[in-house]
Structures are given as structure tokens and as C-alpha cells.
Amino acid sequence: MKIGDKAFFSFWENSRAVTSANQAKEVLEKVMAIAQMPLELTGNVSQTRELINQFSDNLAPDHVFWQEFAEVVQLAFPAESMAADNLLAHQIHQFRYVISAYQAQWVREYFPAQNDRLSLLTYLKGKKGRRFWRKQFDFDLTESSRLHNKAPKKPILGFSLPINLKIVMGFHTEFILDSQGRFANEIDPQGTNHNGIINGASFNYANQNDKRHYELDIAPIKPHDPAFRKQILANQGNRFSAPLLIKKRQHEQWEHSYFNKKGHYAKAGKSAYQQVKALRRSFQRELRKLKK
């Protein structure tokens, strides 16, 4: 049985209609067994490929299963219980990275192109992007990319990271696309890099950017993130951190603001925010060309 095949959905349809946290946890434990989820992600390509191979190839990034799976996770972990010290919470948190790696690879394989950017553009060209007049849309380019543009506390000579753009589908599915046209993921069957480990995508269990997003997707990071990622982020004391959401120049931390075009995260006179905005506009222009 693989996640997403006929046998799996037979199990899923008979199991997902649970009504209590304990019942939901039992379902998730079975899914972790089917996924052959390890105690800890290592980032090794061989492990990542084995994990992705536990999925069938017909689970598109916008398949209804992802919403259903998130709902079971929400029921299983009320309040901040996902940050608790237990095996299932640890596995379910790290499974976010497995899902995102699978979804990125799905796009690559179904829409082969010379780079990930073109693959994603081709996948999205027949879908509806978020617009202020649309009540329903398939993907959203307007979610903030701030947390996916971390940089070291002190500049490292000869080292820099690309700019990253976030694209979400139904809030749960998340793609991070860098300015070099590559998906950024913490684990990747094609091989990881620093930007992916530091700034990569992670499937969201919450439905929107609210309190539950903090409880399910943010609070568990500290206790449950893979050790290899924690080590890279710590960077021997020169920690990688996201720009701050500060808009007032008078603020004592203005140097580290997302909006400071002369600050720590700026490049060539453009703030990190402006760089992301330019990358978004470029992506939108290419998407419009493909749709013609």
C-alpha cells in the first residue's frame, strides 16, 4: 500500500471520520506506518527517495486528501499539544517536510522542464490565481515570503542565499521557489542545498494564518525540527534568522527590517521585501505569457 493508491483510500475513507483526538492519533499512527516514517529525518537523498516512494504518483498538490489529512492533524493535536515531547508529534511535524518534498517532485515529474520554475509555471497556467475580486482561487502569490528569506546574523564573505518566493495552494500546500529557478526544500530527492534547508517549504496543517497556524506549524519547530536543520540554522553561533516585520525607521532593530533597503537583508539598494516583490512580478509576467 502507498499513500494515495486505491488500497490507501479504502483505508482512509473508513478511518478519517473520527470524532476525538485519540481516534485521530490512531489514524495518524497508521499513516506514519504506511509512510515508513523514521524516528528522525536525516536529509540524506537515499532516505528522502525512500520516503517519497511511499506515495502514489496521483496525489496532485491540490488534491482534496491534503485538506482531509490536515483536518485529522488538527483534531489530533488541540491547542499547543503538537509541541509536546512525544513520538507521534515529532513524526507528524517532520512529515510536513516529506509532504512538501513529494509535492515539489510531483510537479517536476508531471511537468518536466529545464528548471523547477518552468515546471511550476506550467502546472499553474491552467489554474486561477488570487485576485481581490475572486471568492475562489487555486493558488496565492500574496502570502508573505519573509520567513523564507533568512540570512546569517553576520555576513559571510563569499556566501549569499537567493531570494525566495512563497506560493501556496489552499494554504496547506506550499512551494518555495528561489530566484535561481529551483524549489527550496529541507529535504529533496534531487539533493539538498543550504537555501533549501534554511528557507525551504513545509506543508501547513492549519487552514489559515491564525492562532492554529502558530500552534500546529510554528510552535513545534523548536522541539521537533530535524537535528540536521537545527545545526545548519545555528551555524556555529552565526545563526540564520528571518528579517523582522518592522516598518518604522526609528525602531532600534530597523537595521534588520524586511523593509529596509539599506539594511542587513538588502541587496543593491533593495530591501528583502522589494526583492521578493520583483521576483513575484517576474513570475506573474511569465505566467501571463504562458496563458496566452
Measured CA to CA in angstroms, residue 283 lies from 2, 147, 182, 213 at distances of 34, 19, 13, 27
Residue 292 pLDDT exceeds 80: no
**β-pair type (151-152, 164-169):** unpaired
| Burial of residue 228 (number of CB atoms within 10 Å: 0-12, 13-18, 19+) | middle
CB atoms within 10 A of CB 69: 23
Q: What is the pLDDT of residues 214-258, one digit of tens each?
A: 999 999 999 999 999 999 999 999 999 999 999 999 999 999 999
Measured CA to CA in angstroms, residue 193 lies from 84, 113, 199, 222 at distances of 29, 20, 10, 21
8 Å CB contact between 198 and 150: yes
8 Å CB contact between 208 and 171: yes
Q: What is the pLDDT of residues 264-273, one digit of tens each?
A: 999 999 999 9
Provide the pLDDT confidence category of residue 201 given band limits of 50, 70 and 90: very high
Does the pTM surpass 0.85? The reply is yes
